């Protein structure tokens, strides 16, 4: 079992790597004109963010990789976790690079994203299915009940992985929102992996993600000096699903990651409502933009979503203990 001291040291190392790399890497992004292209159909107040350096998620990925590899033995779980984070981050990097190169707000085509995400989700799901004897035994939060999903494990996990990664990606729409929410979610998984299921490699990986998110917030909180881009948001989504899948706790994601869930559901409901009735449920989706359109300052939306995530994390801790 890892102690709080070891996990704190791990987070500090990752935090320092981001803090050191930020002032070096961000000017490089600006120099090479790797700037954000804000969508015209988004909030008009966000158009002022056009040109803000993006792809800053690379800093977080580097910090997590270095910290994970130096603070723990490279076990199979650690390797798969790093592949999940780096792999989804690479898909996001391709998306960002195409946006910048083509000077447009859309990068990879939908089918290209799905193929790459499908392959990575299949790899992670298959690994856990063949290596963890209890993989198919899914524990229901707040109860002692266990659901045995048997041979359906791989397709169900793939659906959860792809859905969660894209939900985290949707959450990255305001300064500091995705990085702050994921910091809190990762803190929960750090405690869960370190103290409950006792998977030290995943606890280390979660601690590294906590430190990376905290360091990045220094550059990404309002007004953001850099955006994480799809590079960062998809890497963070990969981190969350890696923690959950490798600790066999995927049913906790809708609870501790309730904000991710709300963001994704708001988009799904908005699209369905408009296609069926030509009416919109929200003023704008994802839901963080709805609150902006209601007159909330960006900082108020972000802070409120952080507080909600802290409450959900506490409830999640209660549910697993």
Q: Which residues are annotated as a binding site for Mg(2+)?
A: 169, 230
Nearest residue to 214 via CA among 3, 1, 22: 22
CB within 8 A of 146, min separation 6: which ones? 137, 138, 139, 140
What Rg, from alpha-carbon coordinates, does the chain have?
Answer: 19
CA atoms within 13 Å, Cβ hemisphere of 79: 7
Angle between helix 229-246 and helix 153-171 axes, rounded to 10 deg? 140
With 0-12 CB in 10 A as exposed, 13-18 as middle and 19+ as buried, what is 19? Answer: middle
Q: Residue 299: beta bridge partners? A: none
The CA-to-CA distance between both ends of the chain, in Å, stands at 16
Cα–Cα distances (Å) from 83 to 20, 59, 60, 68, 73, in that order, read: 24, 16, 14, 12, 15
Cα–Cα distances (Å) from 204 to 3, 74, 192, 256, in that order, read: 11, 11, 11, 19
Distance from C-alpha of 210 to C-alpha of 222, rounded to nearest angstrom:
19
- Binding-site residues, in ranges, read 169, 230
């Amino acid at each position: 079992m890892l102690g709080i001291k070891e996990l704190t040291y791990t987070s500090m190392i990752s935090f320092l790597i981001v803090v050191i790399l930020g002032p070096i890497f961000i000017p490089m992004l600006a120099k090479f004109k790797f700037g954000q292209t804000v969508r015209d159909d988004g909030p008009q107040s966000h158009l002022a963010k056009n040109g803000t350096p993006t792809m800053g998620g690379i800093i977080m990925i580097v910090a997590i990789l270095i910290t994970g590899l130096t603070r723990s033995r490279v076990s199979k779980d650690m390797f798969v976790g790093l592949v999940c984070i780096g792999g989804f981050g690479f898909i996001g990097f391709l998306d960002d690079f195409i946006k910048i190169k083509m000077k447009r707000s859309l990068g990879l085509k939908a089918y290209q994203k799905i193929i790459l995400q499908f392959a990575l989700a299949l790899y992670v799901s298959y690994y856990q299915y063949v290596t963890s004897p209890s993989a198919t035994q899914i524990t229901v939060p707040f109860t002692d009940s266990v659901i045995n999903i048997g041979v359906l494990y791989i397709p169900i996990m793939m659906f959860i992985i792809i859905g969660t990664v894209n939900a985290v990606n949707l959450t990255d729409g305001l300064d500091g929102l995705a990085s702050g929410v994921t910091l809190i979610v990762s803190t929960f998984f750090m405690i869960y992996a370190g103290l409950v299921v006792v998977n030290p490699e995943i606890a280390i990986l979660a601690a590294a993600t906590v430190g990376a998110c905290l360091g990045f917030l220094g550059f990404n909180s309002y007004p953001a000096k850099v955006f994480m881009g799809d590079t960062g948001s998809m890497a963070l989504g990969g981190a969350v699903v890696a923690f959950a899948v490798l600790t066999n706790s995927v049913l906790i994601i809708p609870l501790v990651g309730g904000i991710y869930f709300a963001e994704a559901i708001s988009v799904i409901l908005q699209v369905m409502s408009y296609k069926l009735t030509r009416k919109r449920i929200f003023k704008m989706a994802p839901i963080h933009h709805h609150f902006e359109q209601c007159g909330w300052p960006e900082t108020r939306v972000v802070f409120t979503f952080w507080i909600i995530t802290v409450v959900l994390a506490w409830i999640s801790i209660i549910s697993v203990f």
